[in-house]
Amino acid sequence: MITLAVDCMGGDFGPSVTLVACRQFLDTHPDCAVVLVGLPEALAEFSHARAKVVAATEVVAMDDAVEVALRKKKDSSMRVAIQQVKDGVAHAAVSAGNTGALMAIARYLLKTLDGIDRPAIATQLPNAKGGATTVLDLGANVDCSAAHLLQFAVMGSALVSVLSDEANPAVGLLNIGEEVIKGGEVIKKAGELLRSAANSGDLNFYGNVEGNDIFKGTTPIVVCDGFVGNITLKASEGLASMVGGFLKEEFSRNIFTKVAAIFAYPVLSAFKSRVDHRRYNGAALLGLRGLVFKSHGSADALAFEHALIRAYDAARHNLLDRVQARIAHAAPLLRGADMLPASLEAPPLNQ
């Protein structure tokens, strides 16, 4: 039985979305249970044989500063949900709440794995091959060193090996061109480290890839810093919204466009479903000593259910053990990589 701890209060819509998604998820996953964390009055009417409620007295707002969430709201639904993972009650935690707060609290409670300096956010984006490309980091780390990008690549490889049948998936380094000489100094150094990792058997490094390769599906994994990754994520979500708007507009025009739209609808509808970001919702916070998944803050019930499914799949396939095994294998290379200057290192999280 896989148990997920759910921050029911997080996100733009809170229990009105999370509880609906939890019920749908439980109905289709008989081998799973959920721990619903939130204000008791908000969860009072939910009842299911495989669900239990754990009370929290506070809620982390979407605009709360990280300091407030970490230091002052110590009984928030977000923190209590992650505590369930730390205590061994749940295999993974899922939240649609404030991303910065979630990362800070998860890092403080669970700590990072040996050999990992900064956790990364990883999610999947649809590609032209009918599958998905895993991209990381998506916003947790704006300033990254070459060593951090190497760590992301190792963790991303473990994630994709769990979610697919590829034992050694290829990794691409996002750059402004395929040539080795392209990019800034950090990217060039990262390329050197990734090639060394490939030579030592720690990675299957494809080489540099460009932005369009993400959606072509050139490599199942693409590594970049959080600034570039977050922009890429938001651009892909904009594409899905544009396709949905196009379909709606075409059906509202004159009779000729309506007829044309009717014939084209099956193809357009399939494409819309393919690029629907809700079906790829659920980003893994990799590098922690526990599984935590981040749902989009504006997720509806369908999207949040997919985040639950991703957390369930990760727990069922022992993602944490696989990440640890890959990091242990690559430890000599990770230890030898140059890190950022001390001025750019993430500040420690003290209680």
Query: Is residue 339 domain-resident?
Result: no
State the pLDDT confidence band at 5, using cuts at 50, 70 and 90: very high
| pLDDT value, residue 112 | 93
Query: Is residue 146 domain-resident?
Result: yes
Query: Is residue 220 domain-resident?
Result: yes
| pLDDT value, residue 343 | 35
Per-residue pLDDT tens digits for 57-72: 999 999 999 999 999 9
Per-residue pLDDT tens digits for 78-113: 999 999 999 999 999 999 999 999 999 999 999 999
Rounded to whole angstroms, how far apart are CA atoms 338 and 324? 21
What is the mean pLDDT of the segment spanning 272-280? 64
The answer, yes or no, to whether residue 338 has pLDDT greater than 60, is no
Query: Is residue 87 domain-resident?
Result: no
pLDDT cut 90: percent of the chain above it: 66
What is the mean pLDDT of the segment spanning 26-50? 97
Mean pLDDT of all residues belonging to the chain: 87
CATH number of the CATH domain containing 149: 3.40.718.10
| pLDDT value, residue 212 | 92
Q: Residue 180: which domain range?
A: 116-280
Query: Is residue 136 domain-resident?
Result: yes
Per-residue pLDDT tens digits for 111-161: 999 888 889 999 888 888 888 999 999 988 888 999 999 999 999 998 998
pLDDT cut 70: percent of the chain above it: 84
What is the mean pLDDT of the segment spanning 270-286? 73
Query: Is residue 189 domain-resident?
Result: yes
State the pLDDT confidence band at 342, using cuts at 50, 70 and 90: very low
Query: Is residue 44 domain-resident?
Result: no
State the pLDDT confidence band at 351, using cuts at 50, 70 and 90: very low
How many domains does one find in the chain?
A: 1
State the pLDDT confidence band at 341, using cuts at 50, 70 and 90: very low
What is the mean pLDDT of the segment spanning 39-57? 96
| pLDDT value, residue 206 | 96
Helix (H, G, I), strand (E, B) or coil at 209: strand
Q: Is residue 70 within 8 Å of residue 40, measured between CB atoms?
A: no
Per residue in 41-66, is it b (16+ CB within 10 Å) or e — as a string? ebbeebeeeebebbebebbbbeebeb
Q: Is residue 233 within 8 Å of residue 125, measured between CB atoms?
A: yes
Per-residue pLDDT tens digits for 305-326: 999 999 999 999 999 998 888 8
Would you give the DSSP letter of residue 178?
S
State the pLDDT confidence band at 339, using cuts at 50, 70 and 90: very low
State the pLDDT confidence band at 348, using cuts at 50, 70 and 90: very low
Query: Is residue 182 domain-resident?
Result: yes
Strands annotated E in the chain: 2-7, 32-38, 51-55, 92-95, 120-126, 132-136, 170-174, 204-209, 221-223, 283-286, 291-294
